[in-house]
Copies of this chain bind each other. A is one copy, B any other.
Amino acid sequence: MVGFSQDVGMSKRINSPSGRPRSIQANQAILQATLDLLAEVGYQSMSIEAIASRAGVGKTTIYRRYTSKEELVADAIESLRADVAIPDTGTFWGDMDILIDNAAKKILSPLGRQTLALIISTASSNPQFAQVYWTKYIMPRREAFAQILQRAKSRGEIQPDADVDLITDLVSGSLYYALIFKPTAEPVDTYMHRTITLLLRGIGHGA
């Protein structure tokens, strides 16, 4: 969630608020309904009322937990397991192929498409909110990518002084650009293959 931390793990509860505790079933129902609707109708067309109705929950119960749709959706997405397995096939291209294939699969699902649209849509208008996605979605993949590059370095497949962050930016940016604007008709993995090949060679005269 965006700004909530709820004191889990202390053996003795410090502040046990009186009154009825918040329903964890409501929590889950809300998040599930949010993800369902996100996948079905997309972020813009999604109304809080529809989420509440689908979750079998009062609107108040949602507003008590979240102050905006962004926050709610952010939490819903965060609640998903984002497990990025780091492949280790022994070769740079072997690892890359798996990584790209994973990313492509993720994005082909309805939820993936809508999530990407949402990320991109709100990223520039709502920077602190984009941070959630950065942490949840992009960082894991960047780390996986960085590790693959590192291993490629140690195998001598990559220059030892190459700026890993910048390379990651270039490759990530190129991937997103391809996904958004589809500059070619070829499949994403082929296209990325060409891109990375170009990047390996460099374009400068001395190369």
Q: Which of A113, A166, A202, A203 has the most CB of B within 10 A?
A: A203
Asked whether A116 and B124 contact (CB < 8 A) given A202-B207, A203-B159, the answer is yes
This chain: copies in complex: 4
Checking B173, B183, B202, B203 against A176 with a beta-carbon cut-off of 8 angstroms, the contacting residue is: B173
Q: A203 to chain B: which residues have CB within 8 Å?
A: 158-159, 162, 167, 199-200, 202
Q: Which of A177-193 contact B (CB under 8 A)?
A: 177-183
Instruction: Say yes or no: B127 contacts A117, CB within 8 Å.
Output: no
> Least Cβ distance of A7 to chain B in Å?
26
User: Which residues of A from 101 to 133 have beta carbons under 8 Å from B?
Assistant: 113, 116-117, 120-125, 127, 130
Cβ of A158: which chain B residues have Cβ within 8 Å of it?
A: 203-205
Determine whether A40 belongs to the interface, using a CB cutoff of 8 Å to chain B.
Answer: no
Name the B residues within 8 Å of A181 (CB-CB).
123, 130, 134, 138
What CA separation (Å) do A202 and B203 show in the bound complex? 6
Q: How far is the CB of A46 from chain B (nearest CB, A)?
A: 13
Give complex CA distance A153, B124 in Å.
Answer: 35
A206 to B134, CA, bound (A): 33
Chain A residues close to B by CB (< 8 Å): 42, 44, 113, 116-117, 120-125, 127, 130, 134, 138, 156-159, 162-163, 165-167, 169-170, 172-183, 194-195, 198-207
Closest 5 CB pairs of A and B: A202-B202, A173-B177, A200-B204, A121-B121, A173-B173
A-B contacts, 8 of them at CB < 8 A, read: A117-B125, A120-B123, A158-B205, A159-B205, A169-B177, A170-B174, A199-B199, A201-B207
Further pairs besides A163-B198, A202-B207: 20, Cβ < 8 Å? A42-B125, A117-B124, A120-B120, A120-B121, A158-B203, A159-B201, A159-B202, A159-B203, A159-B205, A165-B183, A166-B194, A167-B198, A170-B173, A170-B174, A172-B177, A173-B175, A176-B176, A176-B180, A199-B202, A199-B204
